[in-house]
Amino acid sequence: MIDLPKTPSFRLDGKRALVAGASSGIGLGAAVALAEAGAHVTLAARSADKLSEALEAMRARGFSADAVSLDVADVVATEALVEDAEPFDVMVNSAGLARHGPAVETSPADFDAVFGVNVRGAYFLTRAVAKRLIAAGRPGSLINISSQMAHVGGIDRAVYSATKHAVEGFTKSMAIEWGPAGIRVNTICPTFVRTPLTEPTFSNPERVRWIKEKIKLGRIASVEDIMAAVAYLATDASSMVTGSALMVDGGWTAD
């Protein structure tokens, strides 16, 4: 009789997950995906009202969840929150900031603000969660929501693209450093996803035409397209995956 292999588990029962930027869009989708897999999810975001609504909706679905106010740009507060909590087995950082415009018009204030959230905030949040896991001697899966713009350039996106390229760089280095501790670090790189925050882009016919020309599958991505990627990277199904960028871009970067 052939000894058939078994697919690794896509479950997270008994695990604790932290999702930053969880009040809406991709972050909320990630929180739902992790909760559906059985994790207890801590939702974190700046907007108290939206966070409260998201938590209420999660609990109404029977998910195990709580919520905390968090601005990842505040490194001191971020590290204190993670240090005071039980170690998180899974982290998804979907907190992000974009101030698009021509490179010749970039102000130092906008540059610093976007880097403060997308790079500095992401770096120290990831580090904080990893430090708690290492101290507890536990493995984990740490995921930063990056972008297809981490691998290409884009119109009016010099600053944003630069921040996401930086996220890919520290992800690879952290994966190398923490691999022996069983801590995996990866990114998910979506194409344009229709969310409340991206509606201004989709209201520009020229931008929509450019987007549809670049996405080989011929459609805009949905939050649900990202949820399965989160579940995969968070669970043992991806236990041999670290230092990688999972492209969910409809073929944008295939050129």
Residues 6+ apart with CB under 8 A from 7: 237
Q: Burial of 7 by CB count in 10 Å (0-12 exposed, 13-18 middle, 19+ buried)?
A: exposed
Q: How many CB atoms are located within 10 Å of the residue 136 CB?
A: 12
The CA dihedral of 84, 85, 86, 91, to the nearest 10 degrees, is -130
Token pair listed for 185 = 């670090």
Whose tokens are 């041999």? That residue is 240
Residues 6+ apart with CB under 8 A from 136: 87
Instruction: Please confirm, yes or no, whether 160 is among the known catalytic residues.
Output: yes
C-alpha torsion sign, points 120, 124, 125, 130: positive
Q: Burial of 212 by CB count in 10 Å (0-12 exposed, 13-18 middle, 19+ buried)?
A: middle
CA atoms within 13 A on the CB side of 16: 13
Catalytic residue among 63, 115, 124, 160: 160
Distance between CA atoms of residues 13 and 26, nearest Å: 22
Active site residues: 160
